[in-house]
Structure 1
Amino acid sequence: MPADLGTRITQIERMLRAVIRSPRLTNASIEGGAVQVYDEHGSLRALVGQQPDGTSGVTVVNGPPPPPPAPPTVAPALAALTVTWDGAFADGAAAPLDFARVEVHVGPDAGFEPSQGTLRDTIETAQGGSVTVPLPYTTWWVKLRARTLAGVAGPATTAVEGTPRQAAAADIQAGAVTAESLAADAITGKHIVGGRIDGAIVTGSTVRTGTTGSRIVVTPTPPAPLEQIPSVLLHSASDLEKAPGALRASTKSDGTSYPTVELTAPAVQIDRWNLPDTSALHLHSPQLHEHGGAFDLTASTSLNRETGNVSVYGTSGRGPTDTALFRISVSDGPEAPGNERGLPARTFVEASGAEFTVRTASADGDTTVTMGPGALAVEGWVTRPATDWKLLVLGSSVIAGSQAPQVRITATGTLELCGYANLTDTEIRSGRQIATLPDGYWPTGVRRVLVPLSAGGTVIRLDINTDGSLRLYPMVGSRASWIGFDGVTCRAT
């Protein structure tokens, strides 16, 4: 420091000027508090930092009330008033810097006071804007008032009168009501006539292309006598139609597996069990190690058997070591030539693995041709004894039908079944025993045959075992009220 006093004073002045010109609060911070801003009268105007509710920011408080906005322009709209503010304030006043919004208030007379109950909408920008207020068809008065960020409301404008416009012809002509004109859930009725619905989801309702004639109906509850599951109904417009065709998907009664799709043709007659007699196709998806994929096409689902039947059935193997099966079954009516004691003339074509079998049978005898790798077996026509029919021993919950189930073995070694059995327990469980063959009629090996035309369109595999037991296994569906054995044949030896 120089010893000369004048020099020292000059240096101190330079240092003071440098301190005065340097930035203030270069490294300052607010720790857990807020800076309070007051005006020249000592009134709190803002809080900068931590707010009373624990948040942080800038809060404007206790500002002066804003000037009143310029009066609005009110125009009638359909069942509403359109209110427009041009962004100006009364007497040319400038917009306050703490402007928040302009409130739109509507009242029943010119002298109403704006309140929370009269607030209908807001304009959120100081540049102005328009809002549409839905109102009943009567005269209304509209006032505007501004509000600041501090929540302070200014004086209201003078009231401007307006009356909503009622609908005219142009408002309701075809095409006048568009999707943009409808609020969500605005249509609550159950009947819409004409027009088009795009991109909609309809749940739990019936959708149809018409009420009469040829039409398609999608319904969760088909009419009797159809099965009560969601279906697509196919009406043919025929005067003979007793039940429409149907497309539906179903599953086993326990709902766990084996889904099936069924397509049926419109029926022109109802059988004695009050079920439609129709042609049907069943499709069944495979499940590895559980069940092969299957299809069943039948010309008649009737249980009357008055017209005979033709069916085609096929199933894939259950797994890598199982064999597939394909079968065509043709049977004549009960009074056609070759019928014997209710058993019609019939032909079966069956392929399984590398073996192919054709079998024909009637009252005059039967012929079986079996082809396999390196082998061909032909059994010619022979006369079958007519006295070897014997009754089956029926199991529990099984009673004889209109023709008691019987069995015989032909002279060619073919085991044949006929008759009907009613099931008081309608659930078809895998391995369920329904009957036993009489002694002397047991096959030398397990025989598996199909019963593709059992009650309700259910397709069942019938296992005829070496102990004489007849056991059922569901293939398509899992319920039947009775089983028909007509046409069930297999090798006895």
Structure 2
Amino acid sequence: MTSALDQAVQQRELAAFLKNLDQRLTNIERAAQLPYSAARGQLQVIDDDGRVISTVGRQTDGTVGVTVAVSPPPPTPLAPLVEAAKAALKVTWDGQWADAYTAPLNLSHLEVHAGSTPDFTLEPQSIVATLAAAGASITLATTTYSSRWLRLVAVNAAGARGPASAATQGTPLKVVTDDLINGIIGELQLANSAVTAAKVATGAINSDALQASAVTTTKIAVDAVSAGKIAAEAVTAREIKALSVSADKLAANSVTAGKIAAGSVTAASLSADAIDGRTIRGVTITGGTVTGGTLQTSETGRRVLLSPADPVEGRAAPSMLLYSGATAEQQPARLTAEVRTTPDGAVPMTRLTGPQLTADGNHTPRLWLNSGAPGTGYPARGSWALGVAGEYGMAGEAVISGAAGDTTNAASIQMSVRRSTSGYKTALTQLNPETWFTQLADQVAAMDLSKDGLTVRALLGEVLLQTGTGLRLQGGNVDVGSGLVKNDSKWAPITLKQGCTQLSGWQTIGVKQLPDGMVALRGIVSVPAGVTSGVIGTIDDPALRPKAGETFRAITPNNTGGNLFAQPNGNLELWNGNGALGGWLSLSGVQWSSID
């Protein structure tokens, strides 16, 4: 029978034990967590939602510094101050804001946009200049004297753009005034012989300024009238003397089939052997070879033209031109082939180009087939490229290309797509027998697969590996340079037996699977005085139970030498104790593998 003295002793021992645990936890919490430590790679600054808003340390391009990934947009600047200048406008920002009192600390610059109306649309093409700071100004040269409207947009270090300011109108000053009136100097103001031939501009005197019959044959010098001075169709058959046009007066190829009257060319008009072994029947040419010049199905409209040279680029490349007849077509579709001379040698090239609808050719689809120059120094490598452009030339373009391999270069395929807004950044994929590399625009995410391993980077988000049966890593180590290794498992309850309960004031009793595959218990079990052995609780989730029986030292106030057994059926059993446990049992430090 336990005496009051024994109970008092036990209570003092429990109080001393709890005080010791409290002091040890306090020391752990107050101790430095990373003394004399260094960070490898980069540190990420995240917001309350877990998004990366800044990185400190080594950046993706190898430099070391601080970058801002996400930031709220800057406030709205006040309308710019615009002063008129000669053929220019001076734009100034006074540093004031329409919806804020101070500038954001990460302010980068202000964009200056110009348009012809107060509510013009802001786009990349409307940016005419940038201002670096408050009080800065810039003078914009203009090509006309028309009024322009100017607006400001603030941009921070993360590239976020704020709302546009109100518009301010400005009108450039004219360099030359309109005070000189046309016709102010008349005939009476000119002295006799004041206007000489040297003072008359070329083309200044036309037919409207000459009196009828003022120019006679005696006033025209020999050879004074050149072919360029004769209007089209001004000389007709009536003005040409019979037999005055001889063969030596005809330019080569000046007489076309359309200028020869039907039946004008007879057998008697053809030289001997002019047509040898050939037959011409109507519009059909049967057999033989057509040599020289160009061959086309029509002179205008929809047609096909074969030419020994490329008339579009002016290169000596045999070409087939396909005219669609569309009004918007500026250049036809082309198929060209040539052997181009380069510093590396003769390179065979074949190109297929779609119809060109713009002067710069940016919206034209293309397919190129090339190879390297054959020879000892330059092994032949076949290549091809297929690309289409977007709305603003290179913006929005999509290109896929490939190159054959040789003894020093691997065969490869590359695909790239360019963003049509926000800096026109490019995403690309490269594949060869040794590596596979994929990178998104702005380099926010990338994957690099090679014989050295697999690298997956997601600078603004997370990397998710999701399977139906689990993820297995075999061989090597998992090295976390920064951040935490986490899983989504929660602390699950344990069903207590034999009247055992949660000891008040301590961590809730539970079981959880850790990221490394270990299963851990926590909490302190309040054990009735009469319980010294048997099942004290059950783990309900089969996935958290050990694969085989595990045994641990039972931690109790009396330290009776008992053992805590974790069984594959989920039972937590207490055995081999010597006497009473002392009122409680700690589950701290009890762990086992859920894998093997």
TM-score range, shorter chain: 0.3 to 0.5
User: Of Structure 1 and Structure 2, which has the larger fraction of its residues in helix?
Assistant: 2
TM-score, reference length from structure 1: 0.34
